[in-house]
Amino acid sequence: MKFITEKMRGLATVLAVLALPLAATAQSVTDVEGDGPAFLQVIHNAADPGAAEVDIYLNGTLLLDDFAFREATGFTELESGVEYTIGVAPGNSTGAGDIIADFQVTLSANTSYIAVANGVLSPDDFSANPDELSIAFNLEIIADVDQEAASADDVIINVFHGATDAPAVDINARAAAPVTLVPNASYADAATITVGPAAYILDVNVAGTDLTAAAFDADLSAAGGAAVTVLASGFLDVEANQWGEQFGLLAVFSDGTTALLPALTASAQVIHNAADPGVAEVDVYLNGALFATDFPFRAATPFLELPAGLSHYISFAAPGSESIDDAIATFEVALGEGELWHLVANGVLTPGDFAANPDGAETDFNVFALIEARDQAETAGNVEFRVWHGATDAPSVDLRLTAGGAVLAGNLGYGEVSDYLSVAADEYVVDVTAAGDGNAVVGTYTLDVSSLADQAVLALASGFLSPAGNNDGEAFEILVVLADGTTLTLPVGTSIDSDLAALPGTFELKGNFPNPFNPTTNIQFAIPAASDVTLTVYDMLGRQVAVLVNGTLSAGTHTATFDASNLSSGTYMYRLQAGNFVETSKMMLIK
């Protein structure tokens, strides 16, 4: 990411585009010996977790030690006309005897080559290629490449399809009339194109269709005169591929600098509203990686940015889990570009041990995807909220103004969500009643939203109407979730403002999630009363690297986001000071 921001910053209009024919990359390079040297760049693009780090040998001598997935070398000068044996061994190899695959190449004089380590070690353990192409581990050779463009008005792009589980694709430059840069590229195909130095949005489409699998920002406006290799990298479906790295476009420059192109994103907020005591706390995994530990009932994340168009997997495990293998449930979601979703974990693990839903709805533990969420009000100055029914033992309900007033959300059954309501930032008294019966009041709530102007809120029916009939789970309440992950419960007859003061009983630094992280993480803390709060991040030498909060906050649970895009991997400390309360904790940045 550093190279993208420092060397490719800026915006420009699209200049010339020249698409050249595709050529298969797996070549037997046996050209005759010439008078000058050859040049070779090596790229590790094999997403198999078993090959996350490899050792590369040249004619039996160690060339690259612990060469990691998505790393690359610069162009290395080699003698031409000589047959070389390139060997690949596990990252912990002790010598050439550990080589598991080797490849012979003979390089021509005054010619540059790119060798891409790609594929998987045991194809039967991975998702097959949709076009039935071999995905066995291989060293793919792209021959006769340029290390730079001849003109500062051009950028040369070598495109390589290295995603084993992806079908043939078209690479299109987004515009009023989209331009196909690379048509019908199958796995292990390569093409070379020349474009102008500009900012592009690249759509990766299933070949011959308008179906966009993923989209990426490629800002080449400051890259005039450069040559770059862009590789389809990782897996479309991580669950079916040993939880390997997710699909992306990897940019590799002639000096060996690498960067993942930023994906166009969607946003999702994860909410734990499953009242089953068996999942009172859970570990949460995102795409196979640990995201949050001991995530409690009625907790929520802020809205999280996720690559759009790809499948994402949310998994839940008991606290103290060791890996994704301990997950008790996994759910797949795929968000479109720019979409916002609420993802609500709800239901019970064994419905037979709990009260049935009065309307006959299924109450199995599940993730409910509430599309068309909002992270702020669309009408300035107003508060906008929608209501979701998540109480497994409750019948269909209405939300109405008290004393027989207007119905705000009608006939909501379990698992159903209302449209957004836009109201003035004021105080309201509402009843939750049985559907169609304003006299059957479940609870009356004073909703004081006068302090929430411009915010969008999700209100959830949460817990059990009858705890005794549901393994003594948490009692019914209204859970209010704000876009920043703040959660509030509204016991009968109380307001949001009073609950803000009552929710946390003590000061608490709750921790950060995800941890480890790259490059952002969310730090949660609770304060029982309005306080002057400072939240500061330090490196292990005690140097201050960020101040996340410095001001007065109201009582409640708060979340601060730490972006470490410009910092190096390592352990960092974060320190919360609120009044006389001081606590410090650690977090790990891994890039």
- Token output for 42: 């090596």
Work out whether strand 531-539 and strand 407-412 pair parallel, antiparallel, or are unpaired: unpaired
Q: Are residues 418 and 549 in the same domain?
A: no
Q: Name residue 467's amino acid.
A: P
Torsion angles phi and psi, residue 51, rounded to 5:
-120, 30
Q: Does residue 4 sit within a domain?
A: no
524 pLDDT more than 80 = yes
pLDDT digit string, tens, across residues 373-392: 999 999 999 999 999 999 99
Average pLDDT, the chain: 88
Q: Does residue 224 sit within a domain?
A: yes
pLDDT digit string, tens, across residues 137-180: 999 999 999 999 999 999 999 999 999 999 999 999 998 788 99
With contact defined as beta carbons under 8 Å apart, do 51 and 137 qualify? yes
pLDDT value, residue 491: 56
The closest alpha carbon to 260, from 564, 518, 561, belongs to 518
Torsion angles phi and psi, residue 296, rounded to 5:
-85, 160
499 pLDDT more than 70 = no
Could you tell me the pTM of the whole model? Answer: 0.72
Q: Does residue 21 sit within a domain?
A: no
CB count in 10 Å sphere of residue 380 = 8
- Token output for 494: 């109380």
> Of 260, 291, 311, which residue sits at a domain end?
260
Q: Are residues 121 and 206 in the same domain?
A: yes
Q: Are residues 460 and 577 in the same domain?
A: no
Percent of the chain, pLDDT > 70? Answer: 91
Q: Are residues 372 and 459 in the same domain?
A: yes
Say which residues have a Cβ less than 8 Å from residue 357's Cβ, sequence separation at least 6: 363, 392, 393, 394, 395, 414
With contact defined as beta carbons under 8 Å apart, do 25 and 141 qualify? yes
Q: Are residues 322 and 463 in the same domain?
A: yes
pLDDT digit string, tens, across residues 415-433: 999 999 998 998 888 888 8
Q: Does residue 11 sit within a domain?
A: no
Query: Cα(136)–Cα(398) distance, rounded to whole angstroms?
Result: 58
Query: Cα(212)–Cα(302) distance, rounded to whole angstroms?
Result: 27
CB count in 10 Å sphere of residue 580 = 7
Q: Are residues 434 and 520 in the same domain?
A: no
Per-residue pLDDT band at 493 (split at 50, 70, 90): low
- 535: domain CATH number is 2.60.40.2550
Q: Are residues 350 and 457 in the same domain?
A: yes
Query: Cα(456)–Cα(383) distance, rounded to whole angstroms?
Result: 6
478 pLDDT more than 70 = yes
C-alpha triplet 248, 251, 252: angle, nearest 5°: 135
Q: Are residues 414 and 315 in the same domain?
A: yes
Work out whether strand 570-578 and strand 531-539 pair parallel, antiparallel, or are unpaired: antiparallel
CB count in 10 Å sphere of residue 571 = 11
Q: Does residue 468 sit within a domain?
A: yes
What does 92-119 look like in DSSP terms, one character per residue?
A: T--SGGG--EEEEEEPPTT-EEEEEEES
Q: Does residue 414 sit within a domain?
A: yes
Give me the number of domains the chain comprises.
3
Q: Are residues 125 and 225 in the same domain?
A: yes
Work out whether strand 112-118 and strand 38-44 pair parallel, antiparallel, or are unpaired: parallel
Q: Does residue 64 sit within a domain?
A: yes
First to last CA, the chain: 10
Query: Cα(53)–Cα(262) distance, rounded to whole angstroms?
Result: 24
Q: What is the DSSP secondary structure assignment for residue 466, as one 8-state letter?
A: -
> Of 242, 260, 278, which residue sits at a domain end?
260
Among 28-37, 190-199, 398-407, 539-548, where is mean pLDDT lowest?
Answer: 28-37
pLDDT value, residue 403: 61
Q: Are residues 525 and 490 in the same domain?
A: no
Please compute the mean of the pLDDT values over residues 436-450 and round it to a whole number.
80
b/e 535-558 (16+ beta carbons within 10 angstroms → b):
bbbeeeeeeeeeebbeeebebbbb
Q: Does residue 241 sit within a domain?
A: yes
The closest alpha carbon to 219, from 180, 249, 255, 177, belongs to 249
Q: Are residues 271 and 398 in the same domain?
A: yes
pLDDT digit string, tens, across residues 217-233: 999 999 999 999 999 99
> Of 260, 287, 306, which residue sits at a domain end?
260
Q: Are residues 340 and 420 in the same domain?
A: yes
Maximum CA extent, the chain: 95
With contact defined as beta carbons under 8 Å apart, do 129 and 164 qualify? yes
Q: Which residue segment(s) compose the domain that 55 sits in?
A: 36-260
